[in-house]
Structure 1
């Protein structure tokens, strides 16, 4: 099998019982030269996401297994929970939702990452996800200290499922605080999983675990069509973790 090249309106190959087109690159299922918000929505609803660099065409992936985080399984250290207790009563700290999506995705693009040169968050990616944000499907969770954005993440939301994309941190634990707030809010809104795409040691340490792609696709089919919750929360969502775990 060869990898299909897609025009921007072409359908993605079905990932149900998919055999990797290129066994040497497991999870890579298609290639395209363009990317759009509408294409992204179709991709996410089918368990597919883009990941590539500036020097490559747009590569579309659906790995098996799939890394997910069940919000209720998020692991927080005792020291981080102690920090949360302090943050909840310290007016210098804030968590805002969708305060500046574009600043957040740009910060994620500039975040240095061990073992990586450059970023997959290209100008085309920022433009496409920016359109998703304007349509209400992409969101940012941003951590502020003394009115400066010190960490955060951005994600996609279809129905009652969240697709995590990238995080950044300019201060210790700032991205973990964003994830903790998002996870607590997800629990309150009966969101069962946050898609993390690919397995890493960091995600495993935070409570993520792999599931078979067929189970992930079944979850998408069940939850993507539901009504999305209102994205309204702040740092007080973190209080959930002082009463649980």
Structure 2
């Protein structure tokens, strides 16, 4: 029985879809296959790299390594000559998921000393974080004259993060004056041009987000 042109086109389309599905499945199988890594030998101190794991946690234009080799470096704190071993690199990149472009810069002793210094840092060492925490705490209480003065000073800070927290605190306080100020910030949002990345855009977005989230706060 002679087939119509419509039937032929349908059969051709079906065969094309089958070939495309088969090619896609083959590509996925090939992608999932873990290619055997060459054995560089323990004498060289090298370790094979799992490029599948590296590809999951690294967005880079560079080529992922096939193996790790010892990397000599100079400690930036004490100046000691050290070696970042291949096993340490494998742990850093594939277990901790450090970025493939990161490198060791301190020896073990200096890393431990630095962690200890940060752990025992005196008050004021993280001044920006302390100021941020204080501004957030102001939002948990009713506004006072001194609290309002702190918020106004924060809005003039050189740190945009403090300004954003001040805007959030104003939204938590509420009140006609504060809400009007937030709406003014939203209205001043630039839509394009060179001012798109200016503080006015950041302030407008922060005010809008703070107003939308007001119902979450008691």
TM-score range, shorter chain: under 0.3
TM-score normalised by the chain length of structure 2:
0.20
- Of Structure 1 and Structure 2, the greater helix share is in 2
Rg larger in structure:
2
- Of Structure 1 and Structure 2, the greater strand share is in 1
